[in-house]
Amino acid sequence: MAKKEEKDKRENIEKKLLELEDQLKRSVADFQNLEKRVAEERKHLIKYANYELLSSLLPAFDSLFLAEKYIEDEGLKYTVKSVKDALENVGVQRIETEGKDFDASTMDCVETIEGNEGKVLEEVRPGFMLYDKVIRPASVKVGKRKEK
């Protein structure tokens, strides 16, 4: 009878050992998944850290870009080019609109005017993206059919 008790005891210990080993494997897997998720979140945070700053600076950039349209000055042109290059270097791209199909995910239609239906006919205010995220949609005028 002592051998049976010993055998049962050993089987219980082996069973408990297998359970603990399984728990350890699950815990290690959970920890590795957590590490991966935290690394991805950190990468995302770093990538989009400038989002708020850039969106608050856009009105100042608008004034600068608008001034370039109406003022012939080499210093101003150089400054605007420097600003555009700096924006591109941190992942900011201007949303292309002129002659493109209207895209509600990157553009706001401020007016519809007679012209090619669904095409952007005029950009009122430029839009910008930070990598794949819209900072500010472009404000555009979109063509519509002639009314009879």
Same domain, residue pair 60 and 108? yes
- Give the mean pLDDT of 47-68: 88
Same domain, residue pair 43 and 115? no
Same domain, residue pair 107 and 121? yes
pLDDT at 120: 94
Confidence of residue 38 (pLDDT cuts 50, 70, 90): very high
Same domain, residue pair 70 and 42? no
Domain boundary among 11, 31, 47: 47
**Parallel, antiparallel or unpaired: strands 107-114 and 138-144:** parallel
Range of 100's domain?
51-144
Same domain, residue pair 37 and 68? no
Same domain, residue pair 37 and 75? no
- Give the mean pLDDT of 31-54: 91
Domain boundary among 13, 31, 47: 47
Q: For position 126, which CATH number holds?
A: 2.30.22.10
Same domain, residue pair 16 and 89? no
- What's the per-residue H, E or C state across the chain? CHHHHHHHHHHHHHHHHHHHHHHHHHHHHHHHHHHHHHHHHHHHHHHCCCHHHHHHHHHHHHHHHHHHHHCCCHHHHHHHHHHHHHHHHCCEEECCCCCCECCCCCEEEEEEEECCCCEEEEEEECCEEECCEEEECEEEEEEECCCC
Question: Total structural domains in the chain?
Answer: 2
Same domain, residue pair 26 and 62? no
Same domain, residue pair 82 and 9? no
Residue 147 has pLDDT above 90, yes or no: no
Confidence of residue 145 (pLDDT cuts 50, 70, 90): confident
Mean pLDDT value across the chain? 90
Same domain, residue pair 83 and 138? yes
Residue 1 has pLDDT above 70, yes or no: no
Size of the chain in residues: 148
Same domain, residue pair 70 and 28? no
125: Cβ–Cβ under 8 A, 6 or more apart, which residues? Answer: 62, 138, 139
pLDDT tens per residue, range 68-109: 888 989 999 999 999 999 999 989 999 999 889 999 999 999
pLDDT at 78: 93
Task: Calculate the CA 4 to chain-centre distance.
Answer: 66
Same domain, residue pair 90 and 140? yes
- Give the mean pLDDT of 17-29: 95
Comparing 2 with 66, the larger pLDDT belongs to: 66
